[in-house]
Amino acid sequence: MKLSEITEKTSLVSDFVKRLAKTARQQVVVVDVLRVSRVSGASARPIHIALDGGQVVKLYIREAPESDQPDGLDIFRIDINSKTQPTTGDFDNSYKPSFNASVDEIAKLINQGQKAFSARRARAQVTRTKRNRAPANKAQTLKSLLEESVELDKVIAVKTKEKQDLEAQLEKVKQQNAA
């Protein structure tokens, strides 16, 4: 099988996704097959798997060096939340007990890191812009709104002038085309 033929329905990908969802006890929200790229000196097809809890697993699949695998594909690198994880198992789905144990190890890492991941996400704050900041009193609010309206009036005047110039040019072009 060629790298360009890999989809989310390829047996290796679908088996990995099903087992990961079952073991991690999280729904798989998105499975996205990305373009073939060079990773660690090998051509690989990244598979982006987004889980219900917000974590992301990225598989890197290459053509297997050995030809004994049924589909000829090999998972050679796995990233969880953009951190490379050691691949210590056998990710060949032709022998299910070994494959399941390997995927279970990845699910275990996801479950162990879920609490810290959720805490990091909760701490992320939305940056407040100038408009979102509440002034101390009504006088400050009025002053800031008046300043903003003056600036906007200037912008409107400039844009109106540009519009009039463009309309004049359009009329000139129409007259030239009519003649």
If you ran DSSP here, which 8-state letter would residue 3 be given? G
For residue 77, name the pLDDT band (cuts at 50, 70, 90). confident
The larger pLDDT score, comparing residue 161 to residue 119, is at 161
Is residue 47 included in any domain, yes or no? yes
Confidence of residue 38 (pLDDT cuts 50, 70, 90): confident
Residue 29 main-chain phi, psi, to 5 deg: -85, -45
Listed in sequence order, the residues at least 6 apart from 121 whose beta carbon sits closer than 8 Å to its beta carbon are: 54
CA distance linking residue 80 with residue 118, whole number of Å:
14
Question: Quick one: how far is CA 122 from the chain centroid?
Answer: 19
Q: How many domains does the chain have?
A: 2
Task: State the DSSP string of 150-176.
Answer: HHHHHHHHHHHHHHHHHHHHHHHHHHH
Domain coverage including residue 21: 3-123
Q: Which residues pair with 33 in a beta bridge?
A: 47
Say what percent of the chain tops pLDDT 90: 18
> Which of 55-64, 67-76, 120-129, 135-144 is modeled with the greatest confidence?
55-64
How far apart CA 75 and CA 44 sit, in angstroms, is 9
Residue 70: predicted pLDDT: 60
Q: What is the mean pLDDT of the chain?
A: 84
Strand partners, 45: 61
Instruction: Note the pLDDT tens digit of each residue in 89-142.
Output: 778 888 888 888 888 888 999 998 888 888 888 777 555 555 555 556 888 888
Q: What is the mean pLDDT of residues 11-27?
A: 89
Same domain, 79 and 38: yes
| 141 & 111 share domain | no
Higher pLDDT, 71 or 12: 12
d(CA 62, CA 2): 9
Q: Are 117 and 156 in the same domain?
A: no
